[in-house]
Structure 1
C-alpha cells in the first residue's frame, strides 16, 4: 500500500492509456495562466515607471542618485519578501488547500497594486507616502512568492500524465507573459501621453488597470476546483500532520538542493538575458533604446513560446532529453548572441529571439520541482526551495554581472552559459529526472 496512489504522473507507462486535456483542464489552465500573467504584470510594472515614482514619492531636493537608489530599494523589498510570503502561503496550501491559497495570492497582489495607483505623493503626505509605497511592495512580494509555486502545483495536480509538461509549460508562459504585458503598457502609455501628463497623473493608469483586472481574476478563480490529489489527502487525513517545513528540512533536503540549483539557472536566464541585457546593449554597445527594447520584446515573445515548447517536449522525449537540449541550446545561443553584438538591426533581433526561445527551457524547473516532493508537503517544499534560492541568486546576479563586466565585456555571456552547463548537468541527477516516488508503507 502506498502513501498516495497517484502522487503525480511520472511518465505514461508503455501500453497504458492516458487521457488528454479535456474542457475542464483547459478552463483550469486558462484561468491559472491568466491570473499568473496579471499577477506578474502587477509585480514588474513598478520597474517600468521607477523614475516617475522616484520623483513623486521622495523629496524634490534629494539628489537624483539617492532618489533612484531608494526607489530601487523599494522595488527590491518585493524580492526580499518573497521567501516569507511563499513559505507562509505554501504552509497553509499544504494544510487548508491549494485553491484557497491560490486565490489569496492573487488578492494579495491585486489590492496593493490598486492602492499604489491611488496613493498620495510625497508632496501631499510627506514621509508617509514612501512608507506606504514600501508596505505595498512588501505585500506584492509576499504574494508573488506564493503565486508561482502555487500555480505550478495547482495545475500539475490537475493535469493528465500525458500532458503534464505541456500544462506546466503553458502556465509558465502565461506567467512570463506578464513581463511582456508590462512592457507593452509602458510603450502605449509613453506614446499616448506626454511626459508631463505621465508625471502628473497617467503613471497611475497601469497600477489601476492591474489592480482591477487582478480583482476580476480573484473572482474568476472561484470557479476552479480543488486538486484531486489534495482532496484525497484530506480524505486520508494526511494534510494536517506536523508542520510541512519541518518535514521538508528533515526528509527532503536533496529535493530542495535540486530545485535551488535549477532556480539558479532560471533566475540567471531571466535576470541577465531578459531584464539586464537591454541596458547592457545601450551602455556597452550604444544601441539606441528603441532598438534595444524592440529586440527585447521579441525575445520575450519567443521566451513565452519556448516555455510551452520545452514543457511539451518533456512529455515526448522525457525530462532529461529536454533539459540537455534546452539548456545546452541556451549555452550555445548565448554566445551566438553576445559575440555578434552590436551587429545589424536584423541580426540583433534574430539572435536575441533565438536565445530567448532557449531561455524558455526555464519551464523545466517546475516540471522537475513539483515531482520532487511528495504531495503532503509539495507546495511548501517547492515554494521554500524556489523562493529562498531566487532571493539569493536573483538578488546577487545583477551585482555580480555588473562587477565582472568591468574586466570582461562578455561577462553576461559567460555567466548565462555556465548556468546552461549546470542545467544540462542537472539533467543527469536521478532525482531531477525521476522525481518523488511513493514509498511503501
Structure 2
C-alpha cells in the first residue's frame, strides 16, 4: 500500500472486524458450556449436539437476507454509517448473551432469547464484512492483495483473540469464563464503535452521481450472473471461516477429550499461521498476479486437504492437530488474500455493497448452514471422520475454480489490468 491514508483505512476497518469477529466466534468456542446452560431441558445428549449445530447454522442462514438488506442501505446512506451500526449491534448482543440467565432460571424463555440474540449477531455480521471489504476496495488504488491480506489478517486475529481469551478466562474464572468472555466482547465492541467514527466515506461513493432507491432490485435485474460468480468465489472463504476455524474447534473436541479453553490453545498456532499467511501471500500476489495466486491456492487445497485432515483424525494428538490445521489455514490464507478483490470487482459502485453482501453471505449461508451437517452425516455413514470433511473441502475448491471461470469469461473485457 502506497500511502499512509490507505493503511489507516485498512487498519481502522480491521480493528473493528477483530472485535466483531471475536464476539461472533465465542459461540462455537464455548458451545459445550452454552449447551449446558441454555439447552439443559433437552435430556438426550445427541439432541443437544444437533440443537447446538442448528443454532450455529441459523446465524449463517439469516446472513444473505441481512447482507442484501444492509448492503442496499449502505449503497444509499453510505458505507461508514452502516459500518458503525453493525459493530454496535454485535456488541449489544454479545453483552446480553453474557448476562442472560440460563434455562434453570428462565426455562424455555432463556433458550428463545439466546437464539434471538444469536440471530441478531448473524444480521450484524451479514453487513459487517461486506462493508469492510467494499471500504478497502473503494479506498485503495493499487496493491489490492496486500490491502486485503492485511485486512483479513485483522479478521483472523478475531478468531485467534477469541481462542486466547477463552483460554486465559478459563484459568481466571473457571465455569464463568464463557459469560465473562461475552461481556468482555460487548465492552470491546463499544471501543470499536468509537474507532470507526474516525473513518471517512469512500471516494467512489462520494463521487457517485446517482444512487438507486432500491439497489437490490437493480442487482437482481442487471447483475444476477455476477451474484452467482461472487457466491462461487466466496465458497472457499466460507469453508475456511466455517470449517477450518469454527467447526474445527468442535471436531477436535470430539477427538481429544479436553476442556474448551485447552482446545482453543491447541488451535491457536494454526490461526496465527493464517494471520501471517494472508498478508504474506497477498503481498506476493501483487507481484505475481492475483488470478495465478487464486488458481494455485484452489489446486493445492484439492491436493492437500485429504492428507491433512487424515493426520488430524487418525493420530489424534495436539501436535497432529497443530500440523494438519496449519497446512490448511496457510492455504486458506493464500486464497482469501486475493479472492476478496475479485468479489468486490464484480459490481459497479451503485450496487457494490448490495452485490458483495448478497454473494458473500449466500455462500456463507450455504456452507455454514449445510457443510457441518453434510460433513457430519458423511462421517457417520462412512465411519470415517476425515472423509466427510475432505469431500466438503473438495466441492468448495471446485466451486471456487468455477467462480474464477465465470469471472474470466463474463467480465474479462471489463477488467483487463496488470494487477490481475
Q: TM-score, normalised by structure 2?
A: 0.88
Comparing 109-118 with 410-419, greater Cα deviation is found at 410-419
Q: Equivalent residue of 2:2, what SS?
A: coil
Deviations 1:330-370 (A, max 9, x none): 22232341344545765653343122101111233311100
Shift of residue 55, structure 1, vs aligned partner = 2.8
Shift of residue 65, structure 1, vs aligned partner = 4.0
* Cα distance change, pair 434–181 in 1 and its aligned pair in 2 (3 A): farther
Shift of residue 39, structure 1, vs aligned partner = 0.5
The structure having more radius of gyration, on CA atoms, is 1
* Cα distance change, pair 337–68 in 1 and its aligned pair in 2 (3 A): closer
Aligned mates of 1:55, 1:335 — CA distance in 2: 33
* Cα distance change, pair 253–107 in 1 and its aligned pair in 2 (3 A): same
**Match 1:207 to one of 166, 182, 186:** 182
Q: Equivalent residue of 1:157, what SS?
A: helix
Which residue matches 1:4? Answer: none
Shift of residue 424, structure 1, vs aligned partner = 3.9
Aligned mates of 1:398, 1:436 — CA distance in 2: 37
- Higher helix fraction (1 or 2): 2
* 2:419 maps to 1:419: no
Q: Equivalent residue of 1:120, what SS?
A: coil
Which residue matches 2:24? Answer: 43
**Match 2:374 to one of 379, 400, 421:** 400
Aligned mates of 2:22, 2:198 — CA distance in 1: 22
* 2:164 maps to 1:184: yes
Q: How many residues align?
A: 407
* 2:290 maps to 1:319: yes
Deviations 1:300-344 (A, max 9, x none): 221222222332233222221111222222222323413445457
Q: Equivalent residue of 2:83, what SS?
A: helix
* Cα distance change, pair 436–127 in 1 and its aligned pair in 2 (3 A): farther
Q: Equivalent residue of 1:193, what SS?
A: helix
Deviations 1:387-413 (A, max 9, x none): 122212321111111222232634222
Kept in 2: contact 1:81–1:141 (CA 8 A): yes
Aligned mates of 1:212, 1:435 — CA distance in 2: 48
Comparing 122-131 with 367-376, greater Cα deviation is found at 122-131
* 2:332 maps to 1:359: yes
Correspondence list, 1:257-276, <5 A: 257-276=228-247
Q: Equivalent residue of 2:56, what SS?
A: helix
Which residue matches 2:303? Answer: 332
Unpaired stretches in structure 1, ≥5 consecutive residues: 1-19
Which residue matches 2:62? Answer: 81
Unpaired stretches in structure 2, ≥5 consecutive residues: none
* 2:135 maps to 1:149: no
Which residue matches 1:116? Answer: 97
Aligned mates of 1:390, 1:250 — CA distance in 2: 23
Aligned mates of 1:180, 1:434 — CA distance in 2: 37
**Match 1:390 to one of 364, 379, 402:** 364
Which residue matches 1:132? Answer: 113
* Cα distance change, pair 431–188 in 1 and its aligned pair in 2 (3 A): farther
Deviations 1:219-275 (A, max 9, x none): 111111000000001xx2x12x24111111111122111111122222223333333
Shift of residue 382, structure 1, vs aligned partner = 0.8
Kept in 2: contact 1:117–1:207 (CA 8 A): yes
Q: Equivalent residue of 1:272, what SS?
A: helix
Kept in 2: contact 1:77–1:138 (CA 8 A): yes
Aligned mates of 2:344, 2:409 — CA distance in 1: 12
* 2:71 maps to 1:90: yes
Comparing 366-375 with 292-301, greater Cα deviation is found at 292-301
Shift of residue 114, structure 1, vs aligned partner = 1.3
Aligned mates of 2:411, 2:237 — CA distance in 1: 17
Aligned mates of 1:333, 1:296 — CA distance in 2: 19
Kept in 1: contact 2:20–2:87 (CA 8 A): yes
Which residue matches 1:220? Answer: 195
* Cα distance change, pair 67–173 in 1 and its aligned pair in 2 (3 A): same
Aligned mates of 2:324, 2:31 — CA distance in 1: 29
